[in-house]
Amino acid sequence: MNFAWMAWTWPTAIFFITIFALIAAMGVWEYFRPGGDPRVGILRFETTRGDRLFISLLGSSFINLAWLGLVDTNLWWSLALSVAYAILVFRYV
């Protein structure tokens, strides 16, 4: 199979590998602690681990877009901010 038409680059490959690894890690987590850990956090509705990952990823995309649009083209800072945001989401949402 030839995937040249998909125009792969290393940065985008790493991006997708990271996302798939996160989803796989969620599967492993679910295997050891089944049930998805539902709870009501600061958003005042019930979220599971999967919801929290989704909120983290979606929020991170907007953090990075906002950083690129408003602050700077160096996205390492916004990536760090996204990680901090994800930790907060997993802790409090």
Partner 1 sequence: MEKTWNNKAWFLVLPVLLLVGFSAVIPLMTVVNYSVQDTFGNNVFFWSGLTWFEQVLHSRRFHEALLRNLAFSFTILAIQIPLGIFIALNMPRKGIGVPICLVLMALPLLIPWNVVGTIWQVFGRVDIGLLGRTLAAMGINYNYATDPVAAWVTVIVMDVWHWTSLVVLLCYAGLVSIPDAYYQAAKIDGASRWSVFRYIQLPKMHRVLLIAVLLRFMDSFMIYTEPFVVTGGGPGSTTTFLSIDLVKMAIGQFDLGPAAAMSIIYFLIILLLSWVFYTVMTNYDSGR
| Contact residues: partner 1, CB under 8 A | 4-9, 11-12, 15-16, 45-46, 54, 58, 61-62, 65, 68-69, 73, 75
Q: Between 25 and 58, whose beta carbon lies closer to partner 1?
A: 58
| The token pair that represents 24 in the structure block | 């796989």
Going by C-beta distance under 8 Å and a sequence separation of 6 or more, which residues neighbour residue 29? 49
Q: Is 15 or 25 the residue whose CB approaches partner 1 more closely?
A: 15
State the nearest-atom distance from the C-beta of 1 to partner 1, in Å. 11
Closest contact distance (angstroms) between CB of 84 and partner 1 is: 20
**Spatial distance between the Cα atoms of 18 and 92, rounded to a whole number of angstroms:** 23
Provide CB contacts within 8 A for 30, sequence distance 6+.
36, 49
Q: Smallest distance, Å, CB 61 to partner 1?
A: 5
Structure token digits, residue 70: 């408003």
Q: Which is nearer to partner 1, 61 or 80 (CB)?
A: 61
DSSP 8-state secondary structure symbol assigned to residue 5: G
